[in-house]
Amino acid sequence: MNLIPIEYYLILSAFMFAVGVTGVLIRKNAIVVFMCIELMLNSGNLALVAFSSYMGSSAGQIFVFFVMTVAAAEAAVGLAIIIAIFRNKLTVNIDEINIFKW
Protein backbone atom coordinates (compact mmCIF):
# COMPACT_ATOMS: atom_id res chain seq x y z
CA MET A 1 0.00 0.00 0.00
CA ASN A 2 1.20 3.45 -0.87
CA LEU A 3 0.60 5.78 2.03
CA ILE A 4 2.15 8.85 0.43
CA PRO A 5 -0.61 11.27 -0.56
CA ILE A 6 -0.82 12.16 -4.23
CA GLU A 7 -0.09 15.81 -3.43
CA TYR A 8 3.52 14.94 -2.64
CA TYR A 9 4.13 13.61 -6.14
CA LEU A 10 2.38 16.61 -7.65
CA ILE A 11 4.40 19.10 -5.61
CA LEU A 12 7.60 17.33 -6.62
CA SER A 13 6.50 17.51 -10.23
CA ALA A 14 5.68 21.23 -9.85
CA PHE A 15 9.14 21.92 -8.43
CA MET A 16 10.81 20.00 -11.23
CA PHE A 17 8.77 21.89 -13.80
CA ALA A 18 9.77 25.19 -12.24
CA VAL A 19 13.45 24.18 -12.29
CA GLY A 20 13.09 23.24 -15.96
CA VAL A 21 11.43 26.54 -16.87
CA THR A 22 14.15 28.45 -15.03
CA GLY A 23 16.76 26.59 -17.01
CA VAL A 24 15.09 27.36 -20.34
CA LEU A 25 14.90 31.03 -19.40
CA ILE A 26 18.39 31.59 -18.05
CA ARG A 27 20.82 29.31 -19.90
CA LYS A 28 22.67 30.41 -23.02
CA ASN A 29 23.69 27.07 -24.48
CA ALA A 30 21.04 25.55 -26.74
CA ILE A 31 21.87 22.01 -25.61
CA VAL A 32 21.32 22.88 -21.95
CA VAL A 33 18.02 24.52 -22.89
CA PHE A 34 17.21 21.24 -24.55
CA MET A 35 17.99 19.28 -21.39
CA CYS A 36 15.75 21.61 -19.41
CA ILE A 37 12.89 20.94 -21.82
CA GLU A 38 13.40 17.24 -21.10
CA LEU A 39 13.17 18.07 -17.38
CA MET A 40 9.81 19.75 -17.97
CA LEU A 41 8.52 16.80 -19.99
CA ASN A 42 9.65 14.43 -17.25
CA SER A 43 7.84 16.37 -14.57
CA GLY A 44 4.68 16.19 -16.65
CA ASN A 45 5.18 12.45 -17.03
CA LEU A 46 5.60 12.05 -13.29
CA ALA A 47 2.29 13.80 -12.67
CA LEU A 48 0.57 11.60 -15.28
CA VAL A 49 1.92 8.38 -13.77
CA ALA A 50 0.92 9.55 -10.28
CA PHE A 51 -2.63 10.26 -11.46
CA SER A 52 -2.81 6.93 -13.28
CA SER A 53 -1.61 5.01 -10.26
CA TYR A 54 -3.94 6.75 -7.81
CA MET A 55 -6.92 6.38 -10.14
CA GLY A 56 -6.26 2.69 -10.74
CA SER A 57 -6.36 3.13 -14.51
CA SER A 58 -3.62 2.54 -17.05
CA ALA A 59 -4.64 5.34 -19.42
CA GLY A 60 -2.27 7.82 -17.79
CA GLN A 61 0.67 5.54 -18.44
CA ILE A 62 -0.30 5.36 -22.11
CA PHE A 63 0.00 9.14 -22.29
CA VAL A 64 3.45 8.91 -20.72
CA PHE A 65 4.31 6.49 -23.49
CA PHE A 66 3.17 8.99 -26.12
CA VAL A 67 5.05 11.83 -24.46
CA MET A 68 8.23 9.75 -24.50
CA THR A 69 7.85 9.02 -28.20
CA VAL A 70 7.34 12.68 -29.01
CA ALA A 71 10.33 13.55 -26.81
CA ALA A 72 12.49 11.10 -28.70
CA ALA A 73 11.41 12.55 -32.06
CA GLU A 74 11.99 16.05 -30.73
CA ALA A 75 15.46 15.13 -29.48
CA ALA A 76 16.48 13.71 -32.84
CA VAL A 77 15.25 16.69 -34.89
CA GLY A 78 16.34 19.28 -32.34
CA LEU A 79 19.89 18.00 -32.13
CA ALA A 80 20.08 17.78 -35.91
CA ILE A 81 19.09 21.46 -36.03
CA ILE A 82 21.61 22.38 -33.34
CA ILE A 83 24.39 20.60 -35.21
CA ALA A 84 23.37 22.26 -38.50
CA ILE A 85 23.46 25.67 -36.79
CA PHE A 86 26.83 24.88 -35.22
CA ARG A 87 28.18 23.99 -38.63
CA ASN A 88 27.15 27.36 -40.06
CA LYS A 89 27.73 29.72 -37.14
CA LEU A 90 30.29 27.81 -35.00
CA THR A 91 28.30 28.53 -31.87
CA VAL A 92 25.34 27.05 -30.02
CA ASN A 93 24.73 30.02 -27.73
CA ILE A 94 21.20 31.17 -28.33
CA ASP A 95 22.02 34.85 -27.81
CA GLU A 96 24.51 34.73 -30.66
CA ILE A 97 22.12 33.03 -33.08
CA ASN A 98 20.35 36.20 -34.08
CA ILE A 99 20.47 36.58 -37.86
CA PHE A 100 16.70 37.15 -37.96
CA LYS A 101 17.08 40.08 -35.57
CA TRP A 102 18.10 43.14 -37.52
Partner 1 sequence: MNIYDIVFYLFAAITLASAFVVVTARNIIYSAFSLLFTFFGIAGLYVLLGADFIAVVQLMVYVGGILVLILFGVMLTNKITSVQIKTGTLQVIPAILGTALMAGVLIKIFTGTNWHSQMAQYPTKTTAYALGHILLTDYVLIFELLGILLLIALIGAATIARKEEKAS
Rule CB under 8 A: which of 7-46 touch partner 1?
A: 7-12, 14-23, 25-29, 31-32, 34-36, 38-39, 42, 45-46
Report if residue 69 touches partner 1, rule: CB under 8 A: yes
Question: Least separation, in Å, of the C-beta of 48 and partner 1?
Answer: 9
Burial of 47 (0-12, 13-18, 19+ CB in 10 A): buried
98 binds partner 1 (CB under 8 A): no
Q: In the complex, what is the shortest distance from the CB of residue 44 to partner 1, in angstroms, rounded to a whole number?
A: 11
Q: Distance (Å, rounded) from C-alpha 61 to C-alpha 99?
A: 42
Distance between CA 49 and CA 51 in Å, rounded? 5
* Of 58 and 102, CB closest to partner 1: 58
93 secondary structure, DSSP code: B
